[in-house]
Amino acid sequence: MTGSRRDTELAARTRAVLDAAAGHVFGTEPGRLAAELYDVLVRTTDDADRARVAAALARCWVYGGHADRAAPFADEALAHAERSGDPELIADCLDAVLAAHWGPDELELRQTTAARLDEVSAHVLDPAARLRGHLWSLQVGWETLRLPVIQRQLRALESLAEESPRARFFAASRRWMYDHVRGVEGGADELISVAEDASAEAGLADGWMVTSLMRGYTALHAGDVATVVEVLELMEEFARSEGVTDVAAEAASLWALLGRPERARALLEQLGADVLDTLPRDVNYLLNLQCVLEAALAVGDEDLVRTAARRLAPYEDRPVVNAGAVYFHGVTDDTLARAAALTGDHERAERLRARALATYLRIGATWWYDRLQASGGTSGESVVHFCPSQDGLWLIGSDSGRPMRALRGFEYVHRLLAQPGQTISAVDLVTDGTGTVIQSDSGPQLDRQAATAYRQRLADLAAELAEAEDWADLGRVEVLAAEREALLAELGSAEGLAGRQRATGSTAERARVAATKAIATAITRIEAVDPKLAAHLRDAIRTGTECTYRPRPDDHLTWRLST
């Protein structure tokens, strides 16, 4: 056989195996594909071709759950690509390096490599190369919970979506995840539909798996049990047919979240008692541990809880996302806190629980926050924290509380909570009980004639506002509304209950205003993180020249007022 004929046949075979590799479904055994790729690799001498084949072989082993075999081929691919000098090829091989180093202990390497990929891919025309750069930056953004990075990469994906159906699939599915985590109402069905259509148009082999997860988790949060069960049956069938541990573990955790512990237990038993001993430290290591621990907690398997928690413990304070940032499985502190509570380590449980809740609040993960809050306190004691903490922060809220920046109003509320049922003058509250010179008032703030004129102007403003709104004169509406608010504020500060004129200049009056405003501001701030506590404080605290905290008889709260 002549050399040119051998070269032609090798080129044709190279194209064929690369096409086959492009259709490899994530999570499935590669079978003959890995051997075919390797056979082509050892026959190839061209740097560019060797880079492409070695990169495909690395991804083949990663997708098949053998990341340990992938790293040498990924490194070789990058070396050949760099010798070729082709930026698009270098981007492809950097993607393979990242896939081969996707384990939980390699986050720092991923950060530096993803940054390099982002830089290389930003200067190439090929949309596939730019897509890889954005996806890996997004993945690392989720792994470090850097919201600005996540938001920036989502916008980049949505811009790229105009260039290819593949990019449109990733833009829709990753936007769905972000909206899902942030509790954005509406839009999920449309994003799922866009992802399904784009997946079909792009011919993505595993696109159905992603869209199925999207449908399942959307249904879970919406309370659509029938759809969740449908997706779970699909996941179980795939896990059985392909022997995929991470799909089975995720299905077990989903059954647990659905309130079906018997189905979760059945899957854990199918995985086997030694499932955690055989887990590779690859892309799905944290996912598998998190999901198994979630299911074990639901079924009350203390031995499995202890084993899974022990293996997950080195990865405290880490978010868990499945491959490619398709779904957010909470933070490790969440499950580790519940595991510590179950096994009796209440001090550790409270520490982890507080940090998990603070993380969920920071990123706006409302569903996860509410679920962890609803799981109850870690020590079995009903406790509400309201106490100064470290670094100028206050720890405020139910169970473990949440760290909040200090406000003067927190100090006033704290004093009232410490003396329930007792009346404290606003002067004593504001001065913290220290002596102060009491000044008398200097007369009404607003005379009756002026108050009458203000009320007449308010009546006129109501008519003028109605006319401006009818004419859709937004500029005039804004000006009139501002004048109305200013008049109302002036009247409100000048009049007390039943329209009585307030005196101005007295120490008592200034203290009343200061205490009332500070406490109202404090409760408003608390409402943003704990609406139930804010509602209780509004109901139980009375402000004025005298202030008091009087809870209802059925308000069974235990306050923790010091750390």
The CATH number of the domain where 541 resides is what?
A: 1.10.10
CB 198 within 8 A of CB 169: yes
Residue 185: HSE in the Cβ half-sphere, 13 Å Cα cutoff: 0
Same domain, 48 and 67: yes
Q: How much is the pLDDT for 27?
A: 65
Domain assignment present for 274: yes
Domain assignment present for 41: yes
Instruction: Using the 3D structure, point to which of 161, 194, 213 is the last residue of a domain.
Output: 161
Domain count across the chain: 4
Residue 280 C-alpha from the chain's centroid: 26
Strands 384-388 and 393-398, by their bridges, are antiparallel
pTM metric for this prediction: 0.64
Same domain, 428 and 459: no
- What's 495's DSSP letter? B
Domain assignment present for 217: no
Q: What is the domain-level CATH number for residue 78?
A: 1.25.40.10
Count CB-CB contacts under 10 A for residue 345. 17
Domain assignment present for 181: no
Q: How much is the pLDDT for 232?
A: 94
Q: How much is the pLDDT for 493?
A: 56
Question: HEC string of 169-188?
Answer: HHHHHHHHHHHHHHCCCCCH
As a whole number of angstroms, the distance between CA 366 and CA 362 comes to 10
CA distances from residue 119 to 92, 115, 218 in whole angstroms, order as listed: 13, 6, 35
Q: How much is the pLDDT for 384?
A: 86
Domain assignment present for 349: yes
Domain assignment present for 104: yes
Same domain, 357 and 432: no
> What token pair was written down for 329?
């499985």
Bridge partners (DSSP) listed for residue 403: 395
Same domain, 9 and 157: yes
Domain assignment present for 184: no
Same domain, 232 and 265: yes
Same domain, 417 and 558: yes
Q: What is the domain-level CATH number for residue 307?
A: 1.25.40
Same domain, 396 and 374: no
* pLDDT tens by residue, 151-169: 999 999 999 999 999 999 9
Q: For residue 513, which of 474, 544, 475 has the smallest C-alpha distance?
A: 544
**Phi and psi of 28, rounded to 5°?**
-110, 155
Domain assignment present for 433: yes
* pLDDT tens by residue, 31-79: 888 888 888 888 888 888 889 888 889 988 888 878 788 889 999 999 9
**Low-confidence residues of the chain, pLDDT below 70?**
1-5, 7, 25-27, 324, 376-382, 399-400, 433-454, 468-480, 482, 485-506, 554, 556, 563
Helix axes 285-299, 261-271, angle to 10 degrees: 130
Same domain, 2 and 33: yes
Same domain, 407 and 529: yes
Same domain, 296 and 399: no
What domain range includes position 314?
224-380
Same domain, 486 and 530: no
As a whole number of angstroms, the distance between CA 263 and CA 297 comes to 13
Same domain, 113 and 245: no
**Phi and psi of 557, rounded to 5°?**
-120, 140
Q: How much is the pLDDT for 175?
A: 96
Instruction: Using the 3D structure, point to which of 380, 401, 424 is the last residue of a domain.
Output: 380
Instruction: Using the 3D structure, point to which of 161, 178, 195 is the last residue of a domain.
Output: 161
